[in-house]
Structure 1
Amino acid sequence: MRVQHFSAILLSGLVSATPLACRRGGATPSSAAPSASPMPGTGSGSGSDVDMAAAVLAIMPSSSSCSGAEFPAECRTAEQAAPFIEKACADLSPGECAATVAVIGVESVEMKAKHNISPGRPGQGTANMMMPEFVSEYATSLFGADKVAGKSPDEVLAMVTPDEHNFGSAAWFLTAKCTEDVRASLKTGTDAGWTAYNQDCIGVDGSLQERMDYWTRAKEAFNL
C-alpha cells in the first residue's frame, strides 16, 4: 500500500504511537497565504465556480475549527487550508481537484495531522499522508537532491509540512505517480474514476465506505 490510511484508528481512540518529534510545536499558518477566491469557471485549471473554503468544509465537516485537536500545531481549518489547496489545484480538472481534496480529508483526518500517527512510521506524512519514499521524492522536486541528501526521514518530512508545501502534496502525487488513464478517468468526475485513482494509483480500495463518503461529498461540493 503506497499511502498508509490511519484515520479509522485515530478516530476510534486506539492510537498509542508517540507523535513524530519533527512536528511537535510546528509552524502556524503563514500570514502570507494567498487569498482564497472562487475558482475560475473556464480554462485548464480546476475549472468550476467553487468557493474553495466552502468546498473543503463541505468535504471535511470537522474542519470548521481546530478546537480540541490532539495536535493543534498541525491542525488546519478549511479557511486556512483553502488558499493553498486552490493553488495546488490550478492545473487540475475539477474531478482531479475534488479527488485530491477527498483524499486529504480521509488521510489526514480532516487536516488534524501532518504526520503518521499509527504505527508512527518515521517520515510518513503531509496532507495526503505519503509514504517516506514519496515524501523524499516530493521534497527533492521542490528543493533539489542536494538539500535532501543526508537528512533523516523526519527531517525530510519537516521540509514539506509547512502549509505552502503540505497542501500541494496530493496534487503532486497525482501528477507524478498516476497514469494518464487514471487521470482521464478522474476527469469524468465519476465513481469509476475515483475507484481507479484509489486502486491503481494510491494502492487502496476506493470502494470502502469511509473513502466513498468523502468522495460523495467532494462530488457535491465541486458540482460534478
Structure 2
Amino acid sequence: MFTRRLELIVAFFHVCLRAQALAPRQMNGGTPTNGTNSFDNITLNQLSSILTNSSCDPTFVDECRNASQALPFLNQGFTEYNISSVGEKAALLSLMVFESGGFKYDKNHFPPPGNPGQGTRNMMNFPFVCQYARSLPSTSSSPFLQSTDPTIDICSSTSVDDSTKNNILSLVLSDDTSFASAAWFYTKSGPDGTGCTAVDGMVEGLQNQSEEGWENFITGCLFTTVTDDRKAVWSITLEVLGTPDSSGSGTTTKNGSDSSSWSGSANGAQETGQIAQGDTNVASMPNISFIQLYLCHYHWNRGKKVLSPNLPAAYFQMPNKYLPIIDFRSDHSRPGSTNGSDRQSPVYDPVVLNPE
C-alpha cells in the first residue's frame, strides 16, 4: 500500500506538470482562445453535418473522401499548425469544403482538363503547392523540386512545364498533407513564412467569428471575391463548429475504438475549472485550465469510465486494476502512430501503474 500511495503522489505531480500544455493559448498577438470560442477536435457528427449534401463524382472517385475518412487528417492538420479557435477552423474548413466540392476533388479539373499544378483540398495554385512541398521534410528533397538551373527558383518560375507542375502537386496529395494544406497556407505560406497571420486584424477577426473578419480572410488572404455561395458554406460551418458535440463521434481511443464509451462532463467547467460526472465525451470539453484539476482520475460508473474530481477517497475504494492515471500528453501524439493520423488534441491517455 505504501508503494502504491507513493506511485500516486509521483503521478499527481506528473499530471500537474503536463497539464500546462492544455491551458488557453495565444496566437500571433491575437486574443487568447478560451472556452467560449475554442473546443477540441472536430467530431464526426459535426463534419457530417457540414458535408450533408456531399457525394462522389464517379469520374474522379479516387479523389473523393467522406467525413469519416477526412476527419482524422483535418484534426491532425489543425493541431500541427496550431489552429485552435472555432473561428479559424470554420474559415479554413469551409474553404476546403467549398474549393473541393465537399471533398470530391483533390485536383483542379474544370474547365477540362483543369489548371495544371493546382490542387489539394483547398485548391492552392502551383506556386503555393510548390512552396508547400518544399516545406515538408517528406517531400523537400524530391527531384521534381530541383531546377537544372541553380539561378531559377522552380516555385516562382513562369517557365515550369505542366508535367512538372503536376508531378510536384502529386507530392502533396496524400490525405495527411492535402487536408493540412489550408492550415499551412494560413500560417506558413509566402516569402516570410507567416501566411496570412501577419495581415492586420486577420487572426483577431477570425477568432472573433465576425463576418467582417471572415471577409478579410477571403479578400486579404485568399485574394478572391466574397460570394453568397462561399458565405453560405462558412455560415453553416461556423454554426456547427460553434456548438460543442456531446456525442464524441469521430474521436478514437489509442486502440482505435470509439471514444464515446469514455464519458465525463463539461457542465460548469468554464466557470469553475471543475469537471462533474455526466455523459459528455471528454474530447468535446472546452479548453479550460486543467491545472485546476490537480487530482483528476477515472472511476467506474454504470460500466463506463468517467472523469471525477472526488479524490482521493473514491480512488482507494476500487480494485487496483481499475485505477488508471490520466496522462496529459503535451505533444498530442499517441504511441504507435506512424503518420500521426491518430493524433488528437488534447489527448487523455489512461496509463495504469503496475496493473494487476
**Fold shared by both chains (TM-score > 0.5):** yes
Instruction: For 1:194, give the aligned amino acid.
Output: W
Where 1:189 maps in the other structure, the secondary structure is coil
Aligned partners of 1:173, 1:52: CA distance in 2, in Å?
23
State the alpha-carbon separation in 1 of the partners of residues 185 and 78 from structure 2.
12
In the alignment, is residue 89 of structure 1 matched against residue 78 of structure 2?
Answer: yes
Whether 1:203 and 2:223 are equivalent positions in the alignment is: yes
CA distance in 2, matches of 1:73, 1:100: 23
In 2, the alpha carbon distance for the partners of 1:165 and 1:213 equals 26
Q: Matched residues in 2 for 1:197 and 1:55: separation? A: 23
Residue of structure 2 aligned with 1:108, choices 79, 100, 104: 100
- Secondary structure of 1:193's aligned partner: helix
Report how many aligned residue pairs link the two structures. 181
Q: Quickly say closer, same or farther: Cα 1:50–1:141, change in 2 above 3 A.
A: closer
Aligned-partner Cα distance in 1 for 2:110–2:217 = 24
Aligned to 1:215: 234
The amino acid across from 1:212 in the alignment is: K
Which of 206, 211, 221 is the aligned partner of 1:191? 211
What's 2:165 paired with? 153
1: CA distance, partners of 2:23 / 2:86 = 11
Deviation of the 1:54 alpha carbon:
2.1
- For residues 46 and 115 of structure 2, the distance between their equivalents in structure 1, rounded to whole angstroms, comes to 31
Q: Which has the higher strand share?
A: 2
Q: Return 213-222 or 147-156, whichever deviates more.
A: 147-156
Letter in 2 for 1:149: Q
Q: CA deviation at 1:139?
A: 0.4
Between the two structures, name the one with larger relative contact order (CA 8 Å, sep ≥ 6): 1
Per-residue displacement from partner, 1:125-148 (whole Å, max 9, x unpaired)? Answer: 000000000000000000365422
Task: Give the letter for the 1:223 counterpart.
Answer: G
Q: TM-score, normalised by structure 2?
A: 0.48
2: distance between equivalents of 1:79 and 1:126?
A: 18
* Structure 1 residue 58 corresponds to structure 2 residue 49: yes
Deviation at 1:59, TM superposition (A): 2.1
Task: Determine the C-alpha separation between the residues in 2 that align with 1:69 and 1:212.
Answer: 27
Q: CA deviation at 1:185?
A: 1.1
Q: Which moved more, 1:49-58 or 1:105-114?
A: 49-58
Q: Aligned partner of 1:82: which letter?
A: L
Q: Which one has the bigger helix percentage?
A: 1
Are residues 179 and 43 of structure 1, via their aligned partners in 2, closer, same or farther at CA, if it must alter by over 3 Å?
Answer: closer
Gapped regions of structure 2 (runs ≥ 5): 1-21, 26-32, 148-162, 189-194, 244-356
Q: Kindly indicate whether the alpha-carbon contact (under 8 Å) linking 1:116 and 1:129 is maintained by their aligned counterparts in 2.
A: yes
- How far the C-alpha of 1:193 sits from its partner, in A, is 1.3
Q: Where in structure 2 are the equivalents of 1:158-173 lying within 5 Å?
A: 158-173=170-185
The question of whether the paired residues in 1 share the 8 Å contact of 2:86 and 2:238 is answered with no
Aligned-residue Cα RMSD (Å) equals 2.2
* Counterpart in the other structure of 1:135: 129
State how 1:16-35 maps to structure 2 within 5 Å: none
C-alpha displacement of 1:118: 1.7
**Alpha-carbon distance change, 215 to 42 in structure 1, aligned in 2, over 3 angstroms:** farther
Match of 2:202 among 174, 182, 190: 182
What's the secondary structure of 2:60's corresponding residue? coil
State which structure, 1 or 2, has the greater radius of gyration over its C-alpha atoms. 2
Q: Indicate the larger mover: 99-108 or 44-53.
A: 44-53
Bigger mean CA deviation after superposition, 209-218 or 41-50: 41-50
For residues 81-107 of structure 1, what are the alpha-carbon distances to aligned partners after superposition, in whole Å with 9 as ceiling and x for unaligned?
A: 010001111211221111110000110
Gaps of 5+ in 1: 1-40
Counterpart amino acid of residue 136 in structure 1: C
Post-superposition shift, 1:70? 3.0
C-alpha deviation, 1:51, in angstroms: 4.1
Q: Which amino acid aligns with 1:182?
A: M
Q: Conserved in 1, the CA contact under 8 Å of 2:100 and 2:121?
A: yes
1:75 Cα deviation from its structure 2 partner: 0.3
Most deviating of 139-148 and 83-92? 139-148
**Corresponding residue SS for 2:206:** helix
